Protein backbone atom coordinates (compact mmCIF):
# COMPACT_ATOMS: atom_id res chain seq x y z
CA UNK A 1 0.00 0.00 0.00
CA UNK A 2 1.40 3.48 -0.87
CA UNK A 3 2.72 5.38 2.19
CA UNK A 4 -0.01 8.03 2.16
CA UNK A 5 -2.71 5.36 2.22
CA UNK A 6 -1.01 3.34 4.96
CA UNK A 7 -1.30 6.36 7.24
CA UNK A 8 -5.10 6.47 7.14
CA UNK A 9 -7.27 3.74 8.60
CA UNK A 10 -10.41 2.25 7.12
CA UNK A 11 -12.35 3.27 10.23
CA UNK A 12 -11.23 6.89 9.75
CA UNK A 13 -12.49 6.89 6.17
CA UNK A 14 -15.76 5.24 7.13
CA UNK A 15 -16.39 7.75 9.92
CA UNK A 16 -15.94 10.62 7.44
CA UNK A 17 -18.19 8.91 4.88
CA UNK A 18 -20.99 8.49 7.42
CA UNK A 19 -21.26 12.22 8.13
CA UNK A 20 -21.14 13.36 4.49
CA UNK A 21 -24.75 13.88 3.36
CA UNK A 22 -26.16 12.57 0.12
CA UNK A 23 -23.13 10.75 -1.27
CA UNK A 24 -22.83 7.11 -2.34
CA UNK A 25 -21.83 5.86 1.09
CA UNK A 26 -20.93 2.37 -0.14
CA UNK A 27 -18.60 3.28 -2.98
CA UNK A 28 -17.09 6.25 -1.14
CA UNK A 29 -15.93 3.89 1.60
CA UNK A 30 -12.69 1.89 1.79
CA UNK A 31 -14.23 -1.44 0.72
CA UNK A 32 -14.59 0.10 -2.75
CA UNK A 33 -11.97 2.85 -2.92
CA UNK A 34 -8.91 0.89 -1.87
CA UNK A 35 -9.51 -2.18 -4.10
CA UNK A 36 -10.39 -0.09 -7.16
CA UNK A 37 -7.28 2.03 -6.69
CA UNK A 38 -5.12 -1.07 -6.37
CA UNK A 39 -6.64 -2.72 -9.43
CA UNK A 40 -6.88 0.20 -11.82
CA UNK A 41 -4.53 2.97 -10.69
CA UNK A 42 -1.41 1.45 -9.14
CA UNK A 43 0.84 3.94 -10.96
CA UNK A 44 -0.99 7.02 -9.67
CA UNK A 45 0.26 9.05 -6.72
CA UNK A 46 -2.20 8.99 -3.78
CA UNK A 47 -2.85 12.32 -2.12
CA UNK A 48 -4.55 12.21 1.30
CA UNK A 49 -5.44 15.67 2.63
CA UNK A 50 -6.94 16.11 6.09
CA UNK A 51 -8.69 18.83 8.04
CA UNK A 52 -9.74 17.70 11.50
CA UNK A 53 -11.94 14.66 10.98
CA UNK A 54 -12.46 15.51 7.28
CA UNK A 55 -10.42 13.82 4.58
CA UNK A 56 -9.91 14.19 0.83
CA UNK A 57 -8.92 10.96 -0.93
CA UNK A 58 -7.26 12.17 -4.12
CA UNK A 59 -4.65 10.90 -6.54
CA UNK A 60 -2.48 12.43 -9.22
CA UNK A 61 -2.67 10.88 -12.68
CA UNK A 62 -0.50 11.55 -15.71
CA UNK A 63 -2.71 13.23 -18.32
CA UNK A 64 -0.23 14.62 -20.86
CA UNK A 65 3.50 15.29 -21.01
CA UNK A 66 2.98 18.74 -19.51
CA UNK A 67 -0.03 18.24 -17.23
CA UNK A 68 -1.25 15.93 -14.52
CA UNK A 69 -4.85 15.33 -13.54
CA UNK A 70 -5.85 15.32 -9.88
CA UNK A 71 -9.01 13.35 -9.15
CA UNK A 72 -10.50 10.88 -6.70
CA UNK A 73 -8.80 7.56 -6.06
CA UNK A 74 -11.52 5.83 -8.06
CA UNK A 75 -10.26 6.47 -11.62
CA UNK A 76 -13.03 4.85 -13.66
CA UNK A 77 -16.71 5.24 -12.87
CA UNK A 78 -17.21 8.23 -10.59
CA UNK A 79 -19.41 6.60 -7.94
CA UNK A 80 -17.20 7.71 -5.04
CA UNK A 81 -17.06 11.20 -3.60
CA UNK A 82 -13.45 11.92 -2.60
CA UNK A 83 -14.34 14.85 -0.31
CA UNK A 84 -15.51 13.46 3.02
CA UNK A 85 -16.55 14.99 6.34
CA UNK A 86 -18.75 17.56 8.03
CA UNK A 87 -16.91 20.72 6.96
CA UNK A 88 -16.16 20.39 3.26
CA UNK A 89 -15.57 24.13 2.86
CA UNK A 90 -12.61 23.99 5.25
CA UNK A 91 -11.41 20.77 3.64
CA UNK A 92 -11.57 22.39 0.20
CA UNK A 93 -9.40 25.23 1.54
CA UNK A 94 -6.74 22.64 2.47
CA UNK A 95 -7.02 21.01 -0.95
CA UNK A 96 -6.60 24.38 -2.65
CA UNK A 97 -3.54 25.18 -0.54
CA UNK A 98 -1.96 21.83 -1.39
CA UNK A 99 -2.64 22.06 -5.13
CA UNK A 100 -1.49 25.68 -5.44
CA UNK A 101 2.00 24.36 -4.82
CA UNK A 102 1.64 21.72 -7.57
CA UNK A 103 2.19 22.22 -11.31
CA UNK A 104 -0.93 23.38 -13.13
CA UNK A 105 -3.45 20.55 -13.01
CA UNK A 106 -7.12 20.01 -13.69
CA UNK A 107 -9.11 18.82 -10.68
CA UNK A 108 -12.00 16.35 -11.08
CA UNK A 109 -14.17 15.56 -8.06
CA UNK A 110 -17.05 13.13 -8.77
CA UNK A 111 -19.83 11.82 -6.56
CA UNK A 112 -21.50 14.99 -5.27
CA UNK A 113 -25.30 14.91 -4.80
CA UNK A 114 -27.20 16.32 -7.78
CA UNK A 115 -28.89 19.03 -5.68
CA UNK A 116 -25.49 20.85 -5.73
CA UNK A 117 -25.67 21.91 -2.05
CA UNK A 118 -22.53 19.95 -1.19
CA UNK A 119 -20.80 20.98 -4.42
CA UNK A 120 -21.34 24.66 -3.59
CA UNK A 121 -19.52 24.18 -0.28
CA UNK A 122 -16.29 23.36 -2.12
CA UNK A 123 -16.69 25.67 -5.11
CA UNK A 124 -15.59 28.90 -3.40
CA UNK A 125 -12.27 27.69 -1.98
CA UNK A 126 -11.43 25.73 -5.14
CA UNK A 127 -11.99 28.78 -7.36
CA UNK A 128 -8.47 29.85 -6.32
CA UNK A 129 -7.23 27.09 -8.62
CA UNK A 130 -9.23 28.08 -11.72
CA UNK A 131 -12.71 27.99 -13.20
CA UNK A 132 -15.13 25.79 -11.25
CA UNK A 133 -18.02 24.00 -12.96
CA UNK A 134 -20.26 20.98 -12.53
CA UNK A 135 -21.13 18.30 -15.08
CA UNK A 136 -23.57 15.37 -14.86
CA UNK A 137 -22.18 12.33 -13.11
CA UNK A 138 -23.58 8.87 -12.40
CA UNK A 139 -27.24 7.81 -12.21
CA UNK A 140 -27.77 4.79 -9.93
CA UNK A 141 -30.76 2.48 -9.50
CA UNK A 142 -32.00 1.73 -5.97
CA UNK A 143 -34.72 -0.44 -4.45
CA UNK A 144 -36.38 -0.13 -1.05
CA UNK A 145 -36.18 -3.45 0.80
CA UNK A 146 -39.34 -2.99 2.84
CA UNK A 147 -40.65 -6.52 3.15
CA UNK A 148 -43.69 -7.38 1.07
CA UNK A 149 -43.76 -3.81 -0.21
CA UNK A 150 -40.86 -4.55 -2.56
CA UNK A 151 -42.70 -7.49 -4.15
CA UNK A 152 -45.99 -5.63 -4.36
CA UNK A 153 -44.34 -2.86 -6.38
CA UNK A 154 -43.19 -5.31 -9.04
CA UNK A 155 -45.51 -5.76 -12.02
CA UNK A 156 -47.88 -8.78 -12.20
CA UNK A 157 -46.06 -10.01 -15.32
CA UNK A 158 -42.69 -9.75 -13.58
CA UNK A 159 -43.91 -11.74 -10.56
CA UNK A 160 -45.64 -14.34 -12.71
CA UNK A 161 -42.52 -14.91 -14.81
CA UNK A 162 -40.37 -15.27 -11.71
CA UNK A 163 -42.73 -17.84 -10.19
CA UNK A 164 -42.73 -19.82 -13.43
CA UNK A 165 -38.92 -19.73 -13.66
CA UNK A 166 -38.60 -20.77 -10.03
CA UNK A 167 -40.84 -23.82 -10.53
CA UNK A 168 -38.89 -24.84 -13.63
CA UNK A 169 -35.53 -24.47 -11.88
CA UNK A 170 -36.69 -26.39 -8.82
CA UNK A 171 -38.03 -29.13 -11.08
CA UNK A 172 -34.64 -29.36 -12.78
CA UNK A 173 -32.87 -29.61 -9.40
CA UNK A 174 -31.28 -26.15 -9.20
CA UNK A 175 -30.16 -25.14 -5.71
CA UNK A 176 -28.84 -21.86 -4.28
CA UNK A 177 -25.86 -22.06 -1.94
CA UNK A 178 -24.62 -19.32 0.37
CA UNK A 179 -20.87 -19.06 -0.30
CA UNK A 180 -20.28 -15.70 1.39
CA UNK A 181 -17.54 -17.17 3.60
CA UNK A 182 -16.05 -19.62 1.10
CA UNK A 183 -12.23 -19.45 1.51
CA UNK A 184 -11.53 -19.62 -2.24
CA UNK A 185 -14.54 -17.60 -3.34
CA UNK A 186 -12.86 -15.53 -6.06
CA UNK A 187 -11.43 -18.61 -7.76
CA UNK A 188 -14.85 -20.25 -7.76
CA UNK A 189 -16.46 -17.14 -9.26
CA UNK A 190 -13.77 -16.93 -11.93
CA UNK A 191 -14.45 -20.53 -12.96
CA UNK A 192 -18.10 -19.60 -13.56
CA UNK A 193 -17.27 -16.35 -15.30
CA UNK A 194 -14.96 -18.03 -17.79
CA UNK A 195 -17.92 -20.10 -19.01
CA UNK A 196 -20.21 -17.06 -19.39
CA UNK A 197 -20.63 -14.57 -22.21
CA UNK A 198 -18.79 -12.03 -20.04
CA UNK A 199 -15.81 -14.34 -19.79
CA UNK A 200 -15.86 -15.01 -23.51
CA UNK A 201 -15.83 -11.26 -24.25
CA UNK A 202 -13.45 -10.39 -21.36
CA UNK A 203 -16.19 -8.08 -20.12
CA UNK A 204 -16.49 -9.21 -16.51
CA UNK A 205 -14.10 -10.14 -13.72
CA UNK A 206 -11.59 -12.15 -15.76
CA UNK A 207 -9.36 -9.29 -16.95
CA UNK A 208 -6.26 -8.75 -14.81
CA UNK A 209 -7.31 -5.38 -13.28
CA UNK A 210 -10.87 -6.58 -12.57
CA UNK A 211 -9.65 -9.80 -11.02
CA UNK A 212 -7.30 -7.89 -8.71
CA UNK A 213 -10.05 -5.38 -7.87
CA UNK A 214 -12.58 -8.05 -6.93
CA UNK A 215 -10.10 -10.36 -5.21
CA UNK A 216 -8.99 -7.48 -2.99
CA UNK A 217 -12.58 -6.41 -2.34
CA UNK A 218 -13.82 -9.91 -1.49
CA UNK A 219 -10.97 -10.33 1.01
CA UNK A 220 -11.99 -7.08 2.71
CA UNK A 221 -15.69 -7.92 2.72
CA UNK A 222 -15.17 -11.39 4.12
CA UNK A 223 -12.92 -10.19 6.95
CA UNK A 224 -15.60 -7.65 7.91
CA UNK A 225 -18.50 -10.14 7.47
CA UNK A 226 -19.98 -7.90 4.76
CA UNK A 227 -19.80 -10.28 1.80
CA UNK A 228 -23.11 -11.63 0.46
CA UNK A 229 -22.77 -14.22 -2.30
CA UNK A 230 -24.92 -17.06 -3.61
CA UNK A 231 -24.07 -19.65 -6.24
CA UNK A 232 -26.68 -21.56 -8.23
CA UNK A 233 -25.78 -25.24 -8.62
CA UNK A 234 -27.17 -28.21 -10.55
CA UNK A 235 -25.97 -31.77 -9.95
CA UNK A 236 -22.93 -30.43 -8.11
CA UNK A 237 -21.96 -28.05 -10.94
CA UNK A 238 -21.83 -24.27 -10.50
CA UNK A 239 -24.17 -22.46 -12.89
CA UNK A 240 -24.04 -18.82 -11.80
CA UNK A 241 -23.37 -16.40 -8.98
CA UNK A 242 -24.53 -13.13 -7.50
CA UNK A 243 -22.03 -11.12 -5.46
CA UNK A 244 -22.60 -8.06 -3.32
CA UNK A 245 -21.72 -6.47 -0.02
CA UNK A 246 -23.47 -4.87 2.93
CA UNK A 247 -22.38 -1.67 4.63
CA UNK A 248 -24.65 0.14 7.07
CA UNK A 249 -28.22 -0.08 5.78
CA UNK A 250 -27.19 -0.69 2.14
CA UNK A 251 -26.56 -3.74 0.06
CA UNK A 252 -24.48 -2.98 -3.02
CA UNK A 253 -24.80 -5.33 -5.97
CA UNK A 254 -21.37 -5.99 -7.47
CA UNK A 255 -21.46 -8.79 -10.04
CA UNK A 256 -23.89 -11.32 -11.45
CA UNK A 257 -22.94 -13.97 -14.00
CA UNK A 258 -23.98 -17.42 -15.21
CA UNK A 259 -22.72 -20.01 -17.65
CA UNK A 260 -24.15 -19.78 -21.15
CA UNK A 261 -25.53 -23.33 -20.96
CA UNK A 262 -27.85 -22.27 -18.11
CA UNK A 263 -29.45 -19.28 -19.84
CA UNK A 264 -32.69 -21.19 -20.49
CA UNK A 265 -33.21 -21.60 -16.73
CA UNK A 266 -33.42 -17.81 -16.08
CA UNK A 267 -30.56 -18.22 -13.60
CA UNK A 268 -29.75 -14.49 -13.60
CA UNK A 269 -33.25 -13.46 -12.55
CA UNK A 270 -33.50 -16.27 -10.02
CA UNK A 271 -30.18 -15.32 -8.41
CA UNK A 272 -31.33 -11.72 -8.18
CA UNK A 273 -34.63 -12.75 -6.60
CA UNK A 274 -32.89 -15.12 -4.19
CA UNK A 275 -30.55 -12.36 -3.02
CA UNK A 276 -33.48 -9.98 -2.49
CA UNK A 277 -35.38 -12.62 -0.50
CA UNK A 278 -32.30 -13.30 1.62
CA UNK A 279 -31.89 -9.61 2.43
CA UNK A 280 -35.59 -9.23 3.22
CA UNK A 281 -35.47 -12.22 5.58
CA UNK A 282 -32.24 -11.23 7.32
CA UNK A 283 -32.96 -7.51 7.58
CA UNK A 284 -29.30 -6.87 6.74
CA UNK A 285 -30.16 -3.90 4.51
CA UNK A 286 -33.06 -1.57 3.84
CA UNK A 287 -31.77 -0.32 0.47
CA UNK A 288 -30.49 -2.31 -2.50
CA UNK A 289 -28.09 -0.27 -4.64
CA UNK A 290 -28.03 -1.87 -8.09
CA UNK A 291 -25.29 0.43 -9.34
CA UNK A 292 -25.23 2.29 -12.65
CA UNK A 293 -28.59 2.85 -14.34
CA UNK A 294 -29.37 0.29 -17.05
CA UNK A 295 -32.70 -0.57 -18.61
CA UNK A 296 -32.93 -4.10 -17.22
CA UNK A 297 -32.45 -2.82 -13.65
CA UNK A 298 -35.64 -0.73 -13.76
CA UNK A 299 -37.81 -3.79 -13.09
CA UNK A 300 -35.90 -4.48 -9.85
CA UNK A 301 -35.64 -0.90 -8.58
CA UNK A 302 -37.89 1.82 -7.20
CA UNK A 303 -35.99 5.04 -7.81
CA UNK A 304 -32.79 6.63 -9.03
CA UNK A 305 -30.14 8.81 -7.43
CA UNK A 306 -27.93 11.10 -9.49
CA UNK A 307 -24.59 12.73 -8.87
CA UNK A 308 -22.58 15.58 -10.34
CA UNK A 309 -18.86 15.96 -10.88
CA UNK A 310 -17.09 19.16 -9.87
CA UNK A 311 -14.40 20.16 -12.37
CA UNK A 312 -11.76 22.83 -11.82
CA UNK A 313 -9.87 23.96 -14.90
CA UNK A 314 -6.65 25.93 -14.34
CA UNK A 315 -6.07 29.24 -16.11
CA UNK A 316 -4.96 28.65 -19.70
HEC readout, 63-117: CCCCCEEEEECCCCCCCCCCEECCCHHHHHHHHHHHHHCCCCEEEEEEEEECCCH
Is-same-fold flag (3-139+306-313; 146-285)?
Answer: yes
* pLDDT, tens digit, 9 for 90 and up, residues 41-77: 999 999 999 999 999 999 999 876 667 899 999 988 9
The arithmetic mean of pLDDT across residues 155-165, rounded, is 96
Residue 77 pLDDT: 93
Helix 10-18 vs helix 30-40: crossing angle, to nearest 10:
120
Taking the model in full, what pTM does it have? 0.94
Averaged pLDDT for residues 228-239: 97
The predicted pLDDT at position 198 comes to: 74
Average pLDDT rounded to a whole number, residues 132-147:
96
State residue 30's pLDDT score. Answer: 96
Decide which of 3.40.47.10, 3.40.50.2300, 3.40.630.30, 3.40.1190.20 is the CATH code for 146-285. Answer: 3.40.630.30
The arithmetic mean of pLDDT across residues 94-118, rounded, is 92
CA-to-CA distance for 155 and 148, rounded, in angstroms? 13
Q: Where are the domains of the chain?
A: 3-139+306-313, 146-285
| CATH number given to 3-139+306-313 | 3.40.630
Amino acid sequence: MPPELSEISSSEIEAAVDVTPGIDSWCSGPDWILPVHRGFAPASEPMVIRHGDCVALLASYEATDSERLVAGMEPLWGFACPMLGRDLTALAERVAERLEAEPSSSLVLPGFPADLDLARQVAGPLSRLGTVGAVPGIVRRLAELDGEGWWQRRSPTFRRNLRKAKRAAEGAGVEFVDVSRHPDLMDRLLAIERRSWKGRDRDGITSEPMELFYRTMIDRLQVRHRCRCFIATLDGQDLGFILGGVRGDRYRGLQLSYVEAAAHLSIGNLLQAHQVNSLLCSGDASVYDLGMDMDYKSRWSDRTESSVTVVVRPPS
